[in-house]
Structure 1
């Protein structure tokens, strides 16, 4: 059995996985670990690199693989990092799963979502609690009463380990300049949500087609698919592994 490393998305750190890593570990019966990207969480005193490759190399330098075999899952920006990592260092991971990710190469202007830009632009004019409430309203399709409690927790994360503005802008620049790899040399599974209001699910469809990878679509979850329906994600991975050659 292979263990799993999880990579979070734009401006988020490992605390934002909630209990998903425990769900996946229990379902697969393996070790599931998380890591903070440079500039966020335990790394918030540093400035993030401005490229996906630079962030990937920083993560790789801090990740202790030991003698175990590993697979990789990334959501959103974490999906970009995951594809870059397995393309450049295919010996590091046996398999890769990307969730609600994208890239400029598969973006179409008519599918532009303005929510992220307005969220980032308005951050300095809101309280932390209001900002996190706005972020969750954009990225999750959970009922409002659930998001209210969660936004309070996530605002506290910001108070405990606020990232530098330079790191937020660096991650945005990294995502905007990311180039899809020419190939993914390990088995790839693409997961996406039709209810994603941040990254249009058609980008995931194009990524799956480009790399001839299986695609699974959730009917109504939001961008933060592991938050909205972690058991569904676990089901897709379990089924994928069960049918692996």
Structure 2
């Protein structure tokens, strides 16, 4: 099996840090972190407003793979679900702090934290200060945030993300459809949520879990950046999901 990892709003594959390698060592699975259009190595591409265009590109990038598992954070969850619904190669989907049209927009993207994060793209402060403000919104682990601040600032310096791309990503998620459970019968789904996520309400994850009749596992303290706040917890959850294979397929 091969893991495909997708990031969320305005974030790129470098923001995973060393977690992909740890998962490879712990599970024996290969992990490939892909960038969404408009960020990272694809920052020069304009983010499409149609989900099928994004999915088509990701399918082309993984054309040589069989039996795919997808782990997706936040916005990446919408992409992962639509990808899985149209691709029988996708056998498992893990959603982390994701949302959907099942929830009100004010819960999918809480206004004040969202404004704070988006304003960082317009700030004339240093990259370090801008990323510090972003991390203050996304993370509840001050020690972990301090450790990655310089690294994330360097990522922003080397591969800056345009605010227009971020708004296009928001529109992409807003316009995307939610696959029905019957479209996901070939695919196991697991939902993880941070109870203290200040950017996206954990209730969004609960509604997704209810909709797909799958289990919901919540972290009691982490923020939206669960992979940063408690990577060992997420690693252990992924290991359990990979080994058990006992999650009921969506809709069953």
TM-score normalised by L of structure 1: 0.90
**Are the structure 2 counterparts of residues 19 and 64 from structure 1 closer, same or farther at C-alpha, using a change threshold of 3 Å?**
farther
Aligned equivalent of 1:177, options 175, 178, 187? 175
Q: Secondary structure in 1 aligned to 2:102?
A: helix
SS in 1 for 2:122: helix
Q: Distance in 1 between matches of 2:179 and 2:107?
A: 24
Partner residue of 2:213? Answer: 212
Greater displacement, 117-126 / 95-104:
117-126
Change (3 A) 1:25 1:239: same
Measured on the aligned residues, the alpha-carbon RMSD in Å equals 1.9
> C-alpha displacement at 1:156, in angstroms?
1.2
Aligned match of 2:72: 74
Cα distance change of structure 1 residues 200 and 149 upon mapping to structure 2, 3 Å threshold? same
Unaligned runs of 5+ in 2: 247-252
CA contact (8 A) 1:70 1:93 kept: yes
TM-fit CA distance, 1:122: 4.7
| Stretches of 4+ aligned residues off by more than 3 angstroms | 108-112
Alignment TM-score, normalising by the size of structure 2: 0.88
Distance verdict in 2 for CA 1:233–1:110, change over 3 Å: closer
Task: Show the counterpart of 2:137.
Answer: 138
| Mapped contact 2:68–2:90 kept (Cα < 8 A) | yes
How big is the shift at 1:62? Answer: 2.1
What does residue 249 of structure 2 align with? none
In the alignment, which residue of structure 2 is the partner of 1:168?
166
Instruction: Report the Cα distance in structure 1 between the residues aligned to 2:61 and 2:49, rounded to whole angstroms.
Output: 18
Question: Are the equivalent residues in 2 in contact too, given 1:51–1:170 (CA < 8 A)?
Answer: no
Comparing 23-32 and 49-58, the one that deviates more: 49-58
Unaligned 5+ segments in structure 1 are none
Paired residue secondary structure (1:74): strand
SS in 2 for 1:49: coil
Between the two proteins, the alignment pairs up a number of residues equal to 241
Per-residue CA deviations over 1:94-113 (Å, capped at 9, x if unaligned) read 11111000013223647862
Change (3 A) 1:204 1:110: closer
Secondary structure of 2:167's partner? Answer: helix
Match in the other structure for 2:97:
100
Contact map agreement 2:13 2:35 (CA 8 A) in 1: yes
Q: Deviations over 1:196-229 (max 9, x none)?
A: 1111111101100000011111111111111111
Kindly state the Cα deviation for residue 64 of structure 1 after the two structures are TM-superposed: 4.1
Q: Secondary structure at the match of 1:97?
A: strand
Structure 2 residue 222 is the aligned partner of structure 1 residue 225: no
Deviation at 1:69, TM superposition (A): 2.4
